[in-house]
Amino acid sequence: MTEAWGPDDDKPRRSAGPVRVRVPAKINLHLGVGPLRSDGYHELNTVYHAISLFDELTARAGDTLTLTMEGEGAGELALDESNLIIRAARALATEARVPAHARLHLRKSIPLAGGLAGGSADAAATLLACDLLWGTGLSRDELGEIGATLGSDVPFLLHGGTALGTGHGEAVSPILARPTTWHWVVAIADGGLATPEVYRELDRLRAGGSAPVALGPADALMAALRQRDPAVLGAVLGNDLQAAALALRPHLADVLKTGAEAGALAGIVSGSGPTCVFLTADGAHAQTVAAALADAGVCREAVTARGPMPGARVI
């Protein structure tokens, strides 16, 4: 049961539980990857966009910290101390000086290692759910600071919407544009791609002079967002990691070609892949493109999604 709402935020302050949080997947409308920094991260200039493909995390009071799950990746994803959900709960408990006691359950729809930041989404959901269950009373920004130590995309997934990400993606500023709904098709691949491997491949391609010219800042993308025309937005979607993902997974070229032939306005690899996302004109067009991708058998599943969506929210 919700008891109160925080003064500087739209989230409740404490609940007796269970607390259920829904969190979206993210795609990158623009992913500009700069050079490798001395701290091992690449400097990013990215435009994040939260879409209507959700994981759901439920937190209940407990005597220890436990995690169970169902859905995508069940039986494959480790539920031990390595899981970002457990790590997020422990990080919050340490920061707030409370015992890390909760029974957590994940209903997962975001594919593993898909370039949709499912792990970061789950960490964001956990921070919000445990904050409420434990009454630690942190703001979304404070949760974001803890989240940034767990994964670069966690701060964005607490906020959602469409936002500019800089640094290694953890510094997030919302992009304020008149409300527009964009319609996507998400082509989910069989198996994942490890993000570090995709970055290493990009470094290799760049060192060998065979990578496309780096995208740089997202100015054209930001201008296109303001025009609210999917054809205009489609023309400027871009991802510096795409060449690397295609080098590691050449079959993704067939996925992109199939989506284009089916009439999608644009198609790109999402983040580090192997998920591909296609921009369409409206909901009916998205259904048509998704059906064509499914019929062609080029992906495990093709689903429609809308964006932007809010970040992690109590439901």
Going by the annotation, the residues of the binding site for ATP are 111-121
Q: Which residues contact 141 (CB under 8 A, 6 or more apart)?
A: none
Under rule CB under 6 A, residue 72 binds ligand ATP: no
The dihedral built from the CA positions of residue 204, 166, 26 and 17, taken in this order, carries a sign that is positive
Min separation Cβ 181 and ligand ATP, Å: 23
Site for ligand ATP in 180-209 (CB under 6 A): 192, 195
Min separation Cβ 278 and ligand ATP, Å: 18
User: Which residue ranges are tagged as binding site?
Assistant: 111-121
153 is catalytic: yes
Among 115, 238, 307, 311, binds ligand ATP (CB under 6 A): 115
Distance CA 158, CA 121 (A): 8
- Find, among 79, 173, 64, the residue nearest to 122 by Cα: 79
269, 115 Cβ separation under 8 angstroms = yes
Under rule CB under 6 A, residue 113 binds ligand ATP: yes
Among 36, 61, 96, 112, binds ligand ATP (CB under 6 A): 112
Q: Which is nearer to ligand ATP, 155 or 230 (CB)?
A: 155
Tokens matching residue 296: 């062609």
* Of 11, 26, 55, 122, catalytic: 26
DSSP H or E stretch at residue 12: none
Burial 84-94 (b: 16+ CB within 10 A, else e): bbbbbbbbbbe
Q: Which range of residues in 10-18, 82-90, 130-138, 294-302 is near ligand ATP by CB under 6 A? A: 82-90
Distance CA 196, CA 296 (A): 30
Among 57, 85, 185, 255, binds ligand ATP (CB under 6 A): 85
Which residues on adjacent β-strands are paired with residue 188? Answer: 301
203 is catalytic: no
> What residue ranges bind ligand ATP (CB under 6 A)?
77, 83-85, 112-120, 122, 151, 153, 192, 195, 271-272
Instruction: Give me the active site residues, please.
Output: 26, 153
